[in-house]
Amino acid sequence: MSESPSIRNHKRPLSIRFHRNLISIPRILIIFSCFLSYAADSETTDPLNVRDFGAISDGTTDNTSAFQKALDAAAAGKLTEVVVPAGRYSFSGSLRFPKEVSLRGTYDYVPSHAGVRDKSDEKPDYGSVLLVRGDAGNDAASAFIQLQTNCVIQGFCIYYPDQKEDTPEPVKYPYTISMRGNNPAVIDCELLNPYNGIDASQNQRALIRNVHGQPLHIGIYVNDIYDIGRIENVHWNPWWSLNTPVYNWQMEHGIGFLFGRTDWHYVLNTFCFGYHIGYHFVETKSGVTNGNFLGIGADNCQTAVVVEGSAPFGILITNGEFVSFNGPDPTMVRVEKTNTGVVRFSNCAFWGPCNRNAVIDGKGTVGFSDCTFVQWGHRGQEVHAIEALGGSLLIRGCEFREDKAQVWLKEGVQRAVVTDNLIRGEARIKNEARGVVVIEDNAAAP
């Protein structure tokens, strides 16, 4: 005998009867809510692609407008990222990044010579390569890439295809990248052969990390910084051109790193090869440099370090490696008469074959501690490893590894302490200073 619907319903407990409805409806609502949330997040976070704005990677089409439209669209949609697929993108103009927007290429780390696989091969190379052709001959124009607050450019090779290596001097271009505002960043990029590299001025807390290449005139320029900036793992090497007329011009005119007014810049693991000056510290209208320089190097620069001005707090250089052997008077360190601040070298090595390791002048204080000096006096004349014309000088705990004259203190030296050094051969420390000088406890040996 069949049961009536009423009997069947009464036989099933109320909690069981509505079990499916009570559970399934909330489940559906939760799943649907998560889907809407995911869709909303996708709409606001997925990066734009320059190809969707008309970018063409054939190596010749001008992509300035397409890239700028993509950057502006990202800002308008409150997006933070525009991506650039692999290919060669040519440009006749410059790009101004809206605040908070970043441009990302394909490289997860700075590429190696990606701009030209072969000098006779103009086909697209691997990775995201930006070919700059605009503003040739006008180095005063705006930079090709103009970063503002919280903008990042990452993962590119930037190459100047019209720059030639067999000309007596390079074609002038504006800076490849300028960094303004708060927290702009350049990461994992190769600046293969620009005239001027990065203008890292008038910003706060800028970051330059993992950048390699061969800027021909100025690698990085830092000035007007009032909050700490960071430069890490930047190497300038003649990967594009070596032993050519344009490289010879670079040796006579180029500057690897140029510092003006900055407030405790942190510079780590940087290097340059083949410049007139490796690290140049100058006084600008805004002031002079103070900063922490760790593990820096300059090889085959006519002068590795030139200090025209430094802050009283000091330019602190630790674990540096400096080599000079070309030019009319190859010298590792020159502190000019204009300097009134502090420069300290700690645990650094100076070698050549050069003329002199250091020439010191000015009214500031220069210190060498736990440093190694070798291969001076290789120009056929009697010179001292360190020659001081003025200011105050500290040489403590260093080693002079040549049996040659070590230190010459000239009349203008105000104060000097030369103590506890290791000297090969006899001690040849010439003291003509009129100021207060302490020379003692130096260990000389055959």
User: Residue 446's pLDDT band (boundaries 50, 70, 90)?
Assistant: confident
pLDDT digits (tens, 9 = 90+) for 190-231: 999 999 999 999 999 999 999 999 999 999 999 999 999 999
Q: What angle do CA 234, 240, 140 make, to 5 degrees?
A: 70
Burial 136-145 (b: 16+ CB within 10 A, else e): beeeebbbbb
pLDDT at 15 over 70: no
Q: How confident is the model at residue 125 (pLDDT cuts 50, 70, 90)?
A: low
Which pLDDT score is estimated for 382? Answer: 86
pLDDT one-digit tens code per residue, 307-328: 999 999 999 999 999 999 999 9
State pTM to two decimals: 0.88
- For 169-191, write each residue's pLDDT tens digit: 999 999 999 999 999 999 999 99
Average pLDDT in the 350-374 region? 96
* Residue 427 near residue 444, CB atoms below 8 Å: yes
What is the overall mean pLDDT for the chain?
89
φ, ψ (nearest 5 deg) of residue 182:
-105, 130
Q: Binning pLDDT at 50, 70 and 90, where does residue 33 land?
A: very low
Tens digits of per-residue pLDDT, 140-170? 999 999 999 999 999 999 999 999 999 999 9
Query: What's the mean pLDDT in 29-37?
Result: 40
CA angle 267, 248, 317 (to 5 degrees): 20
pLDDT, residue 99, reads 97
pLDDT, tens digit (0-9, with 9 covering 90-100), for 364-420: 999 999 999 999 998 777 899 999 999 999 999 999 999 999 999 999 999 999 999
Q: Cβ distance 352 to 325 under 8 Å?
A: yes
DSSP 308: S
Question: What does the buried/exposed string (b/e) look like for 239-257 if buried means 16 or more CB atoms within 10 Å of the residue's CB?
Answer: bbbeeeebbebbbeebbbb
Q: How far is CA 325 from the centre of its chain?
A: 24
Both structure tokens of 89:
């993108």
pLDDT of res. 2: 41
333 close to 304: Cβ distance less than 8 angstroms = yes
Tell me the mean pLDDT in the region 4-16: 39
The top-level CATH class assigned to 48-253 is: mainly beta
- Work out the pLDDT band at 16, boundaries 50, 70, 90: very low
- Whether the per-residue pLDDT at 18 is higher than 60: the answer is no
Residue boundaries of the structural domains of the chain = 1-45, 48-253, 260-446
Supply the pLDDT for residue 87: 93
The predicted pLDDT at position 116 comes to 57
- Whether 434 has a pLDDT exceeding 90, the answer reads yes
Give residue-wise pLDDT tens across range 250-304. 999 999 999 999 999 999 999 999 999 999 999 999 999 999 999 999 999 999 9
Q: What is the pLDDT of residue 380?
A: 75
